[in-house]
Chain A
Amino acid sequence: MVGALIGVVAAAAGAALPKRWRVPASASLVLCGCLTELATSIRVLATGSDAHWHSIDLLPFTGVTLLLTPLGAIFVVLVTVVAVPATLYWIGYSSHGASARTTACNYAMFVTVLLIVPAAASVATFMFLWEMMALTSLALVLTDQGRRAAARSAGVWYGVITHAGAAFIMAAFLLLASHSGSQTFVAMTSHARTLAPGARAVIFLLALVGFGSKAGVVPFHVWLPRAHPEAPTPVSALMSGAMVALGVYGIVLFGNVLLSGGPVWWWLIVLALGGVSALFGSLHAVNSTDLKKLLAYSTTDNIGLALLAVGASGIFVATGHGRLGALSLVAAVFMLVNHAMFKGALFLVAGSVQVASGTRDLDELGGLLRRMPQSGALFLVAAAAICALPPLNGFVGEWLLFQSLLQGVNLGSTAGDIAITVSVAALALAAGLTIVAFVKAAGVGFLGRPRSPGANDAREVAMSMRVGSGLLVVMCVVAGVAPMTILSAVERAVRAALPRVGSRSVVRGLQLQLVGARGVLAPTVLAASLAGALILAVSLRRALARRRAVRVVEAWGSGRELVTARMQYTATSFAEPVQRVFDDVLRPVRDVNVSHVAESRYVIESMSYRSRVDDGIERALYAPVIKVIRRWGQYARRLQPGSVHRYLAYGLAALVVTLLVVAVAG
């Protein structure tokens, strides 16, 4: 809890110090806070004993109850994985904005709250911290609201959805707490078993909606592609890498810990939500041209895959295959940790690109790898990690998930088998589309030639920004080549979440050997042999080529003399085949305007073509709701004509109604 105190001091430093000292002082304090919390959670994970802290003075009536279990500890580790590099990045980034008093203060508060949410162990503590997390991040999304209308709109969407979600979570907590007569998680867990199945189901579904909205799963994902691009870059990285993962933490907390598991149909819903989110997110990521928006949709995709694993785990546990359930949950948590690493890195580099070139639009970028060699290389490696290419961390995560699903087919129930098979297909399609999306992002953004003057003049960014994103990329490589340490920590966390399962280790020396299954992966050997084969192939080329020097020549332009940057494929054209294949799902809007010369309608004067892919769920689900609310708002305005007599009459009417109700009820 020392970390939290340091965080509060950091926030105070951000608010109080003059501009010159504000960010460095605040950032170093935040880093100290992160490292302190990291040390606590590593201790919890290593010893397996919880860290407990209680104060009755901090919150009125209830006090603050914090209990760091191994499950919470792994999420604290996840938060620090993004928070430390993002804060380092912030030091350099703050010279391009995000250095105002409120921003610095809110940033420090946001990181601090993220660090202690997983330790909250009573309803009041949890809701207070959860709300703090929502409010500080909302304020950070609104950093640029004075200049950009998009930031204001993003703030409204995020604020409404996150608070609606909080209401659902609150309802779930109240139902559970009223049954157990206590608001601490420990008491709630022990009483939850005596609840009626219907009540348990209602509580779980309320929590699923509430936490699902924070996790950005379909259909509550609409705030992600708005809020992530508008927030300052370190905040986007934290929101996408860490905060969204806490939504999944909430679902695991309710489903596996507080309610101690549930029937198969709960988890089928979770599985389906995850699968649909993965497909929807990856498909929209392919069709986004704004780099940060692409990353935001891909967050929905990655969280969907993690949720799919959580759902599969629940199904396995509910059908009595506990070890397999533990394996799926290990895959889920490991994928979330990986996601924090590569998505954090991608967001940070995307921010560097925006700083260096002034745009995030892929159709205006290009050739950045030669202009920003280090940032560009970092983006390429992180993109390879998110595409689950070996030997990086994303690959190990997907392998674990695939193995757990593979072992899960053939367990007896036909519905379960079909659900698992379909989820393998969803996983595969989402993985394939992710590759399209990120080859597009990396290839169009960083390779080829620049498509705009901004991209042409881009220069490498400040050292601290490169160090921040570089740290995350190094973690991606280490977690891919030697995932053993992280996996054994994840294993302990999962064992705490599924106490009845008692799974053994999945790690044996340099290999990952699954318990009760015949799956073996040797990531270190794989990486070493890949490196060896690479050296072999390079030396083959060297040995056989007669001339070592490489001559630079013009690319083939089909016989034309001038090949311009506009002839390259753009992000839009790159995604066009996928868009056409999924035409029925995406329903792109295409306008073709042809204007003819006045004299003859056979001669065309000009032509314009516009194509846009809207979010179908937003159009179908949110637009009608917004319309209705707006209409009610119009009606409500008639209640306020400004006449004092009318207001007095309202008061009288309200009093009469209240008295009547009391008379009838009493």
Chain B
Amino acid sequence: MSVAHDVGVTGVGVLQVVVIGIGGLVLLGLMRKVRARIEGRVGAPVLQPLRDVRKLMRKERLRPEFASWIFPLAPVVLVATVTVAALMTPLITTHPPLAGGSDLFVVVYLLLLGSTLVALAGLDTGTAFGGMGSSRALTIGALAEPALLVTILALSVSSHSSNFPVIVRATLADPAVIISPARLFALAALLIVIIAESGRLPVDNPATHLELTMIKEAMILEYSGPDLALVTLGEAMRLALLLGVLVNLSLPWGVASSTSVGALAIGTIVLCAKVAAVASALSFVEVFLAKLRLFRLPELLAGAFVLALLGVVSGVVTK
């Protein structure tokens, strides 16, 4: 197979999903490793999450006694929605398999479908923790929503479209857009929203199991075995996808503009490098952050909303 060989739509789809799937878990390991090293610990190997998932996959499936079919369905839906989102997003190439309907709005609502199902599953367990987690996670989600949609608006103003490949291609064609105030404000807002949506510090502490402070972990407390493996995989894929979106909107260079083997190889390496760099930076900053009180979060998200709004306004004014 030569470097110029075209792998076609299916190949690109499989590649993006596999890179997001395995890359997401490695990313999780990398972020934990960075954090451990800065805190002066050796930390688990970077590939530890992969091993965890493999181990969990082989365990017995358990179901809490009052749960219904929603409980086993939620992890599957979570993974499925992120997979479809990965098929839509221009991560490695600007020609993802579902490019036609690849809309930022659609990607957001797909991810929302997964997290809503997980929130329902939290209530399905019939315990206090599940309800607590879903109540908090959904409150944060609802407050992050305006910032998120207005961010999409700000990103779309310059190219008159919320079609994701169109935005990335337009950015590649005219890189000056990146340092325009509209894009900078929008990216800052997007970063905050991504932190909130993926449950990183200072919104939620992914490492905690302290009963009263956990959000995501409370929601998925009852999961074990293969179901927990799928939840972990889904969450990791989502984090990788969101960071991939962020880097491709801020530093789109290296994204393959064709579907040839060579271009895709470069695209994969560049994407992994960029996401790894951003994730390490995030992890580095997280060491110095404490978790915010739940009822201080609206201020943070309102801040993100104002940034996004500034993005739209400056985009309109400078036009």
Residues of A within 8 A of B (CB): 366-367, 369-370, 376, 380, 384, 387-390, 395, 398-399, 402-403, 405-407, 409-410, 414, 417-418, 421, 424-429, 431-433, 435-436, 439, 442-444, 446-449, 511, 517-523, 525-526, 529-530, 533-534, 536-538, 540-541, 544-547, 549-558, 563, 565, 567-569, 573-578, 580-581
B63 touches A518 (CB 8 A): no
Closest to A550 in B: B61
A577 touches B109 (CB 8 A): no
Nearest B residue to A366 via CB reads B126
| Distance A531 CA – B75 CA, assembled complex (angstroms) | 14
Contact A522 B98 (CB under 8 A): yes
Q: How far is the CB of B89 from chain A (nearest CB, A)?
A: 13
Known: A428-B150, A448-B125, A555-B66. A569 touches B138 (CB 8 A): no
Task: Verify if B188 is at the interface (C-beta below 8 Å from A).
Answer: no
Task: Knowing that A406-B153, A544-B226, A550-B61 touch, tell me 13 more A-B residue pairs with CB under 8 angstroms.
Answer: A421-B150, A424-B146, A435-B138, A435-B142, A439-B138, A448-B66, A448-B123, A545-B58, A549-B61, A551-B62, A552-B62, A574-B123, A577-B295
Chain A residues with CB under 8 A of B175: none
- Given A435-B141, A550-B72, A578-B142; A573-B135 close (CB under 8 Å): yes
Count of residues in B whose CB is under 8 Å from the partner chain: 90
A417 & B79 in contact (Cβ 8 Å cutoff): no
- Is A443's CB under 8 angstroms from B65's CB? no
Interface positions of B (Cβ within 8 A of A): 57-70, 72, 75-77, 79-81, 83-84, 87, 98, 100-101, 103, 105-106, 109-110, 112-113, 116, 119-120, 122-132, 134-136, 138-139, 141-146, 148-150, 152-153, 156-157, 159-163, 166, 211, 221-222, 225-227, 229-230, 294-295, 298, 305, 309, 312-313, 315-316, 319
Report the separation of the CA atoms of residues A410 and B311 in the bound assembly, to the nearest whole angstrom: 13
In the complex, are the beta carbons of A389 and B113 less than 8 A apart? yes
Most chain B C-beta atoms within 10 Å of own C-beta, residue among A402, A525, A565: A402
| Residues A545 and B226 in contact in the complex (CB < 8 Å), given A403-B162, A410-B319, A522-B101 | yes
30 contacts between A and B (CB under 8 A): A370-B66, A389-B109, A399-B105, A409-B316, A417-B312, A421-B150, A428-B145, A433-B142, A436-B142, A439-B116, A439-B134, A442-B120, A444-B131, A447-B126, A517-B160, A518-B160, A519-B162, A530-B81, A533-B79, A533-B80, A533-B83, A537-B75, A549-B61, A550-B61, A550-B63, A553-B65, A557-B127, A558-B211, A569-B128, A575-B135
Q: Which of B57, B79, B145 is the one whose CB lies under 8 Å from A431?
A: B145
Given contacts A409-B157, A577-B139, contact A429 B145 (CB under 8 A): yes
For the residues of A in contact with B, the DSSP-based class is: helix
Task: Please name all residues of chain B whose beta carbon is closer than 8 Å to the beta carbon of A403 when the two chains form the complex.
Answer: 105, 162
Which residue, B81, B227, B305, has most C-beta atoms of chain A within 10 A?
B81
Whether the pair A536, B80 counts as a contact (CB closer than 8 A) is yes
CB distance from B268 to the nearest CB of A (A): 21
Contact A521 B120 (CB under 8 A): no
A414-B312 Cα distance, complex, nearest whole Å = 11
Which of chain A's residues have a CB closer than 8 A to the CB of B60? 546-547, 549, 551
Q: Distance (Å) between the CB of A610 and the closest chain B CB?
A: 20
A227: shortest Cβ distance to chain B, in Å? 28
Min CB distance, B147 to chain A, in Å? 8
A425 touching B150 by the CB < 8 A rule? yes
Known contacts A424-B150, A436-B139; is-contact A544 B100 (Cβ 8 Å): no
Pairwise interchain contact B123-A578, C-beta atoms closer than 8 A: no
Do residues B163 and A520 form an inter-chain contact, with CB atoms below 8 A? Answer: yes
Q: Are B110 and A390 in contact (CB under 8 A)?
A: yes
A436 CA / B140 CA spacing, docked (Å): 10
User: How distant is B215 from chain A, measured CB to nearest CB, in Å?
Assistant: 10
For B229, what are the chain A residues with a Cβ–Cβ distance below 8 Å? 544
User: A612 to B42, alpha carbons, bound, how many Å?
Assistant: 52
Complex partner residue of B126 from A432, A552, A565, A578, CB under 8 angstroms: A565
Complex Cα distance, B224 from A552, in Å, reads: 12
Which residues of chain A are near B87, meaning CB under 8 Å? 529
> Given the complex of chains A and B, what is the CA–CA distance between A536 and B23 in angstroms?
19
Q: Given A429-B142, A577-B294, verify A568-B128 contact (CB < 8 Å).
A: yes
Does A533 lie within 8 Å of B81, measured CB to CB? yes
The answer to whether B62 and A550 touch across the interface, beta carbons within 8 angstroms, is yes
Most buried by A among B109, B163, B226: B109
Interface of B is mostly: helix
**Complex Cα–Cα for A569 and B120 (A):** 12
Chain A residues near B313 (CB-CB < 8 A)? 417-418, 421
Chain B positions within 8 Å of A546 at CB level: 58-60
Flag if A518 contacts B127 (CB, 8 Å): no
> What residues on A are CB-neighbors of B309 within 8 Å?
421, 425
Contact A544 B157 (CB under 8 A): no
- Give the contacting residue for A544; candidates B58, B124, B135, B319; CB below 8 A: B58
A425→B61 contact, CB < 8 A: no
Contacts of A563 in B (CB 8 A): 126-127
B83 lies within 8 A of A537 (CB): yes
A447 — which chain B residues lie within 8 A by C-beta?
Answer: 67-68, 70, 120, 123-124, 126
Contact B135–A551 (Cβ < 8 Å): no
Instruction: Find chain B residues with CB under 8 A from A525 CB.
Output: 98, 100-101
Residue of A nearest to B312 (CB): A421
Report the minimum CB–CB distance from A373 to chain B (whole Å).
8
Q: A95 to nearest B CB, angstroms?
A: 28
With a CB–CB cut-off of 8 A, which chain A residues contact B161? Answer: 517-519
- Distance between Cα atoms of A557 and B66 in the complex (Å): 13
A377 closest partner in B (C-beta)? B69
Q: A436-B142, A448-B124 are in contact. Are A537 and B230 (CB under 8 A)?
A: yes
Most chain B beta-carbon contacts within 10 A, residue among A380, A388, A439: A439
- Bound-state CA distance A431–B109 (Å) is 11
Instruction: Tell whether, in the assembled complex, residue A581 and residue B298 are in contact, meaning their CB atoms are under 8 Å apart.
Output: yes
CB distance from B221 to the nearest CB of A (A): 6
User: How far is B113's CA from A533's CA once the two chains are assembled, in angstroms?
Assistant: 14
Closest partner residue, chain B, to A405 (CB atom): B153
**B83: which A residues are within 8 A, CB to CB?**
533, 536-537
Inter-chain contacts of A538 with B (CB < 8 A) = 76
Count chain A CB atoms within 10 A of each CB in B72, B105, B112, B123 and give the residue with the most.
B123
A555 touches B126 (CB 8 A): yes
Minimal beta-carbon separation of B218 from chain A (angstroms): 10
B119 touches A443 (CB 8 A): yes
Partner of A428, one of B58, B68, B81, B146: B146
The winner among B84, B142, B294 for most chain A CB atoms within 10 A is: B142
Give the CA-CA distance A418 to B138 in the complex, in Å.
28
Known: A421-B153, A541-B226, A547-B60. A555 touches B125 (CB 8 A): yes
Task: Tell me if A530 and B109 are in contact (CB < 8 A).
Answer: no
With A409-B157, A545-B226 as contacts: A388 and B109 at CB distance below 8 Å: yes
How far apart are the CA atoms of A384 and B73 in the complex, in Å? 14
Given that A424-B149, A429-B142, A518-B166 are known contacts, is A544 also in contact with B66, CB under 8 Å in the complex? Answer: no
A418: which B residues are within 8 A, CB to CB? 313
The one of B69, B103, B230, B294 in contact with A541, judged by C-beta atoms closer than 8 angstroms, is: B230
